[in-house]
Amino acid sequence: MKVLEFPLAKITLGFLLGILISFYIHPNPILVFGLLSVSLALLTVLFFWPKTNQHTKFYFSTLTYFISFLIGMSSLIIQTDSFQKSNYSNNKAVFEKEHRITLILREKLKNSIYNQRYIALIQTIDDKNYNGRILLNIPKKIRATPFEIGTMVSIKGNLQKNKKPDNPNQFDYSNYLNSKQIYAQLYANSANIKISPEPQKDIWFYIAKITTRITTNLEKSHFNNTALAVATALILGQRQDISPEIIQDYQYAGAVHILSVSGLHVGFIFLFLNFILKPIPNTRKGSFIKLTILLTSLFFFALLAGLSPSIVRSVVMFSFVAIGLHLRRSVNIYHTLLVSILLILLFQAYFLFDVGFQLSYLAVFFIVWFQPILASYWKPKNKILKYCRDILTVSFAAQIGTLPLSLYYFHQFPGLFFITNLAVIPLLSIIMFLGVVVMSLAAMGFTPFWLTKPLEWSILLLNKIINTIASFEQFIIKDISFNFIMLSCSYVLIIATIIWLKKPHFNKLLFVLLSVIILQSALLFSQWQIQNQEEWIVFNSKRKTLIVQRNGNEVCLYSNDSIAAKNKMLNSYLVGNFSHIQKQESLSHTAYFKGNKILILDSIGIFPKNANPDIVLLTQTPKINLERMLVSLKPKLVIADGSNYKYILKQWKASCEKQKIPFHATAEKGFYKLN
């Protein structure tokens, strides 16, 4: 790969590796900054060292790559809020009792069933200055309409640390929030919330005002609500109001990326702006005016879209393209990608752990690298066929480049993605051009019928096409087991194959075949690992008891619920462990696993006095005197699953502590596993 021969590529790889090492290993900041200072001093000495020594260049380049690695580590450390003494996460007391917390609402999130949700910035805790981001939950019964962004609220409550997943192989929302540097949540109620009459009027306040003004004016023009939700997602990056059914249709059709503002959308806007600015002459002054308008418009669009990782990446990349056009120089797309990665991650290192950011860059890289190879196999002369060829080859290149990562995160593959792109992209270009014009006018309070209605009809047509394609569920491959080893080996195979296709050679073909063997070995190793595992798990399921015993890839499900096998959290466990349900049995009062005798007590609470269990599992809130039972049975461990009433868990915990017997409540600690 010639791209790896660029010094900038090696510097970027070192920088990325530094961020990853810093994120997962948590090095001592003093050590990192010390090494960086020493390395910079050595680099300065080498820079002025006489160049007659043949080894000087080698030492200089090696030290440069090492410094890029250290800068990557330093960037993440500097941008990690928890390293700041004033961050609330460093004060353990804020998690132990109620405090008066003052905060500013920064971003509106999608509502849950019962709560409005916001990202909020902490200002003070008990009148002492603190900082940090939290997830704020405000019940809908307190206020039906959303708060303004910038509103300052004072809430009395206790911060709750992000909770680990309740069940195995479940989406780790705690880890997701931590990667956003949100370390806690706060639940408000009407009795303890005070609202400041004056909001904080910063740039986010005014951007939210513009967004609200646009949507309000379009609603007043009787714009279809479903179409408006999709329009605001496509143009403004606001997905809060889209129904789960529509999102599912886009996922099944392989078009969910359309709902996240990214390079495709910015590309349309870039072309549209270039078209609008075409009358400006290409003189030195005219070119500078064009560049200024383009960069300002792209930056403003990024702000409107919420500065998500994918939109920042796209805007930065197209800004470099615009600068290249202004300077009348050909833009090396690989250099553009590398510089944009460096610039973005230098200021927002945590973007690297955003799934959208990863998929976005991979898609662009493989389009640039692999699409020309695919296009070379078919060169139609007809313009329409050429246009269809370009859409198909771009779609296949992006899909192949992102496929392993998509399987790793989402475990499904939309088989009709190429039909979706053929049908949708021409229509999407019309929607984007119309949408930009309509929303610009709506921001000024002008919503002409002859523009809003074509946009509304176009979006409804788009939804209809997506719904039709998504209805062919037989082409949607779901529940694909895929782990990190297979992810890595898949990319080795894809890269090896593209290198061979680019310039076929026998040695490169051998590398492809070796990659196939490596991928097969990874799959066999994963299967071997699974086959040698045994575990017994009590899931945390509300109002139900769900127990799994897995031997290899065969799962025995114990539950009195006839539809327990269709439970989503159980499905995540099966996919994550390459397993399937072999049988389902009703719960009995006794279970055995690896020499452990397990007594299962239900609501009746009857147990034999000579049971002598190692573990007692409490389900359905059994009517027993737990302390008397503990004295009688003397178990080594007591487990209470999610089917028990929460009010009694504290009593049971106190009884177990009194008898010095470990107590595990799945509602508090999540699932329990024996292996």
- Contact between 665 and 640 under an 8 Å Cβ cutoff? The reply is yes
- Eight-state DSSP code of residue 222: T
Position 609 pLDDT exceeds 90: no
Position 301 pLDDT exceeds 70: yes
Per-residue pLDDT reduced to its tens digit, 306-341: 666 667 777 777 777 777 766 666 667 777 778 888
Per-residue pLDDT reduced to its tens digit, 640-664: 998 888 888 889 999 999 989 999 9
- H-type helices in 471-577, by residue range? 484-502, 506-531, 568-576
476-477 vs 663-665, strand pairing mode: unpaired
Q: What is the pLDDT of residue 54?
A: 66
- Contact between 509 and 601 under an 8 Å Cβ cutoff? The reply is no
pLDDT classification of 4: cutoffs 50, 70, 90: low
Query: Which whole number is the average pLDDT over 60-74?
Result: 89
- Which residue has tokens 């290198």? 499
> How many beta carbons lie within 10 A of that of residue 521, not counting itself?
12
Between 501 and 436, the more confident residue is 501
Q: What is the pLDDT of residue 311?
A: 73
Distance CA 16, CA 22 (A): 10
556 burial (CB, 10 Å; 0-12 / 13-18 / 19+) is middle
- Contact between 61 and 14 under an 8 Å Cβ cutoff? The reply is no
* Three-class HEC string of 314-328: HHHHHHHHHHHHHCC
Tokens of 444: 């000024």
The amino acid occupying position 197 is P
Name the pTM for this structure. 0.85
Helix (H, G, I), strand (E, B) or coil at 108: strand
Per-residue pLDDT reduced to its tens digit, 527-536: 999 999 999 9
The pLDDT mean for the chain works out to 85
Q: What is the pLDDT of residue 327?
A: 67
The continuous run of DSSP H or E covering 186 comes out as: strand 182-187
Cα–Cα distances (Å) from 635 to 228, 383, 641, in that order, read 59, 77, 17
Question: Of 232-241, 250-259, 651-660, where does the model show the most confidence?
Answer: 651-660
Query: Which whole number is the average pLDDT over 206-225?
Result: 85
Distance CA 634, CA 616 (A): 10
Query: Which whole number is the average pLDDT over 11-39?
Result: 90
Q: What is the pLDDT of residue 221?
A: 87
Position 1 pLDDT exceeds 60: no
Read off φ and ψ for residue 112, nearest 5 degrees.
Answer: -90, -175
Helix (H, G, I), strand (E, B) or coil at 628: helix
% residues pLDDT > 90 (the chain): 17
Query: Chain centroid to CA 638: how far?
Result: 36
Q: What is the pLDDT of residue 487?
A: 92
Position 57 pLDDT exceeds 80: no
Q: What is the pLDDT of residue 493?
A: 94
Q: What is the pLDDT of residue 518?
A: 94
Position 271 pLDDT exceeds 80: no
CA dihedral of residues 656, 657, 660, 665 (deg, nearest 10): 50
Position 250 pLDDT exceeds 70: yes
Query: Which whole number is the average pLDDT over 608-637?
Result: 87
Residues 6 or more apart in contact with residue 140 via CB below 8 angstroms: 111, 114, 115, 116
Tokens of 366: 């493989």
pLDDT classification of 365: cutoffs 50, 70, 90: confident
Helix (H, G, I), strand (E, B) or coil at 29: helix
Read off φ and ψ for residue 167, nearest 5 degrees.
Answer: -140, 155
Q: What is the pLDDT of residue 528?
A: 92
Question: Count H helices, E strands: the chain?
Answer: 21, 20
Distance CA 587, CA 565 (A): 14
Q: Angle between the 203-220 and 417-443 helix axes, to the nearest 10 degrees?
A: 100
Q: What is the pLDDT of residue 261?
A: 67
pLDDT classification of 394: cutoffs 50, 70, 90: confident
Query: Which whole number is the average pLDDT over 574-591?
Result: 89
Per-residue pLDDT reduced to its tens digit, 107-160: 888 888 888 888 999 998 888 888 889 998 888 777 777 888 888 888 888 888
Q: What is the pLDDT of residue 51?
A: 61
The continuous run of DSSP H or E covering 419 comes out as: helix 417-443
